[in-house]
């Protein structure tokens, strides 16, 4: 029997509390169709504090048994989650499209990415070396004091609270990167669904719940809570069972969670992905040789997904060359002829309009789509323009506007570009366009940007994040709360693990990864030498 036949394809609008469903509480909310602004059925019921307490207690009870499962067992579980998500078929894709007004093709790709990263972590667990096992054998006759036997490896932190993102209903939500990496690390997960796409969340949660049941995982391995407001999410972060938090969203929301976690009697780490404008620097040769193509590529990057990618280029720095004016005119023309499109929520739409109105009064130039026939959560794409001197004198021009807009900054000199780069806040990514001669001439720009971002891109754009072991999707604050980590790629697993050292334990009592015989055949550092 195909997995799809075993998955319940109806939406009930209630939370997942371990292996049971939550109650139909009186506090409800609906998703909205961004194209029309109309509510979408069914209504979803906010979890109660009692349900949160039950989910947290179940996760706490699952902490040790789930964390102690062999890596291959967790790998099989993660693969089943991916299989079950795919088995939802068009039902999942169509619901995601209804709740976001983004095209079906977007979610076919996002589903593939979501399932791909689940399987990437499964492969990582099966191979096993991610635990970074280190062994230093005892030297009993060392002088002046004996050396003990010391061994260490990564072990799971415990239950993790994951907050879904508005702009990625699959890849950064219920079974997205935070959930996948936390489950891979051996941590139970409690997800707070996003109010923008609760139906999509329920479908994906059903896929995870089925895998939990089929693989006989501890009941508290996974829960999902619906919430109309902030009360449930805040209470979850403060709950003593929660050992870490994953969040993708606004700076305001991420900062609030960081402060809550820091104020706990026992503070916990919060891994937030927040605000980033991903500066793009065009160096002289790029504008001189590839002006037309780059203007089109920049337009695609700014307006793709209606500008609602965390990696959208929100700042563009141009040198003064003979071709710069033509580049700007070309880009303005493309923006002016881009059709309006809906943002994900009414709140995001209002924030976009308010920020745009404020910025208009602060810049030299402004161009937007000239449509007046806006409906639902529609907005007009736009581009602002300012001199480097004005940009340097008005720090708020570096703030993110979430949506299909960007700010062009005209720099009179290399020195202005360097000064601007040095003043930038932390970012997820920065792009530099030019040739090898430009890179040599602007080596100091690259050196500055390396201190400001998690990912440097040459002759490409920041939108599009490859899911692979070497990817870094992070950056200094306020891009994230911890620049030492990544939310994408196999290194993301270490956010939800901590190093534990075992000293003078007998071999029989050690984890498999630290036994002398290396039964899992993983890479380890033994007495300072890497090997298997």
List the catalytic residues.
Answer: 273, 310
Q: Are strands 382-387 and 427-433 parallel, antiparallel or unpaired?
A: unpaired
* Sequential DSSP letters for 206-262: HHHHHHHHHTT--GGGEEEE--SSSHHHHHHHH-TT--EEEEES-HHHHHHHHHHHH
Specify whether the CB–CB gap between 12 and 25 falls below 8 A. no
Render the burial of 316-348: b for 16+ CB within 10 Å, e for the rest: bbbbebebbeebbebbbebbbebebbbbbbeeb
Cα-Cα-Cα-Cα dihedral sign, residues 18, 21, 27, 30? positive
Structure token pair of residue 131 = 């635990």
Helices 324-336 and 284-303, interaxial angle, to 10°? 10
Interacting residues of 500 by C-beta distance below 8 A, sequence separation 6+: 152, 153, 154, 155
CA end-to-end span of the chain: 41
Residue with tokens 């009870």: 61
* Sequential DSSP letters for 167-211: S-TTTTSTTSHHHHHHHHHT--EEEE--TTSHHHHHHHHHHHHHH
Residue 531, beta-bridge partner list? 524
Nearest-angstrom CA–CA distance, 444 and 454 = 17
Give one word for 229, left, alpha or beta, with left for phi > 0 and alpha for psi -120 to 50: beta
3-state helix, strand, coil in the chain (%, to 5): 40, 20, 40
Nearest-angstrom CA–CA distance, 234 and 189 = 16
Instruction: Provide the H-helix boundaries in 88-197.
Output: 90-100, 104-127, 177-185
Nearest-angstrom CA–CA distance, 449 and 401 = 21
Backbone angles phi, psi at 500, to 5 degrees: -125, 135
Nearest-angstrom CA–CA distance, 390 and 33 = 40
Backbone angles phi, psi at 404, to 5 degrees: -80, 70
Backbone angles phi, psi at 19, to 5 degrees: -90, 0
Nearest-angstrom CA–CA distance, 467 and 69 = 26
Nearest-angstrom CA–CA distance, 20 and 17 = 5
């Amino acid at each position: 029997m195909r997995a799809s036949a075993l998955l319940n394809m109806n939406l009930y609008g209630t939370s997942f509390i371990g292996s049971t469903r939550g109650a139909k509480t009186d506090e409800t909310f609906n998703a909205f169709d961004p194209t029309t602004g109309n509510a979408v059925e069914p209504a979803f019921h906010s979890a109660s504090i009692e349900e949160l307490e039950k989910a947290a207690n179940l996760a706490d009870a699952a902490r040790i048994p789930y964390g102690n499962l062999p890596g291959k067992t967790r790998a099989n579980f993660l693969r089943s989650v991916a299989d079950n998500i795919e088995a939802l078929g068009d039902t999942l894709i169509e619901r995601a499209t209804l709740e976001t007004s983004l095209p079906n093709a977007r979610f076919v790709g996002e589903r593939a990415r979501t399932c791909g990263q689940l399987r990437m972590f499964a492969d990582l667990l099966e191979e096993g070396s991610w635990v970074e096992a280190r062994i230093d054998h005892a030297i009993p006759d060392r002088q002046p004091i004996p050396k003990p036997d010391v061994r260490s490896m990564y072990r799971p932190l415990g239950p993790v609270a994951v907050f879904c993102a508005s702009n990625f209903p699959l890849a950064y939500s219920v079974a997205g990167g935070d959930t996948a990496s936390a489950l891979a690390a051996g941590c139970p997960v409690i997800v707070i669904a996003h109010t923008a796409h609760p139906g999509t969340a329920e479908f994906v949660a059903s896929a995870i719940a089925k895998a939990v049941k089929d693989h006989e995982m501890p009941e508290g391995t996974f829960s999902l809570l619906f919430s109309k407001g902030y009360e449930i999410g805040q209470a979850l972060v403060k709950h003593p069972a929660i050992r870490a938090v994953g969040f993708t969203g606004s700076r305001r929301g991420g900062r609030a969670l960081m402060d809550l976690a820091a104020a706990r009697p026992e503070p916990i780490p919060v891994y937030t992905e927040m605000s980033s404008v991903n500066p793009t620097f065009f160096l002289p040769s790029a504008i001189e040789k590839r002006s037309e193509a780059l203007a089109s590529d920049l337009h695609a990057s700014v307006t793709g997904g209606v500008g609602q990618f965390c990696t959208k280029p929100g700042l563009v720095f141009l040198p003064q060359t003979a071709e710069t004016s033509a580049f700007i005119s070309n880009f303005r023309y493309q923006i002016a002829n881009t059709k309006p499109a809906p943002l994900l929520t009414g709140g995001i739409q209002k924030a976009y309009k308010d920020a745009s109105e404020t910025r208009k009064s602060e810049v030299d130039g402004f161009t937007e789509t000239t449509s007046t026939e806006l409906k639902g959560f529609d907005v007009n794409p736009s581009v602002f323009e300012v001199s480097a001197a004005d940009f340097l004198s008005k720090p708020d021009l570096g703030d993110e506007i979430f949506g299909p807009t960007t700010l062009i900054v005209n720099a009179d000199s290399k020195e202005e570009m360097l000064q601007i780069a040095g003043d930038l806040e932390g970012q997820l990514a920065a792009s530099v366009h030019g040739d090898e001669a430009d890179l040599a001439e602007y080596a100091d720009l690259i050196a500055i940007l390396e201190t400001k971002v998690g990912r440097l891109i040459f002759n490409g754009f920041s939108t599009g994040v490859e899911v692979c072991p070497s990817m870094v999707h992070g950056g200094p604050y306020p891009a994230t709360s911890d620049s030492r980590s990544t939310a994408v790629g196999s290194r993301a697993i270490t956010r939800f693990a901590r190093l534990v050292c075992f000293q003078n334990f007998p071999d029989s009592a050690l984890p498999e990864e630290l036994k002398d015989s290396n039964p899992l055949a993983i890479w380890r550092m033994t007495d300072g030498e890497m090997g298997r």
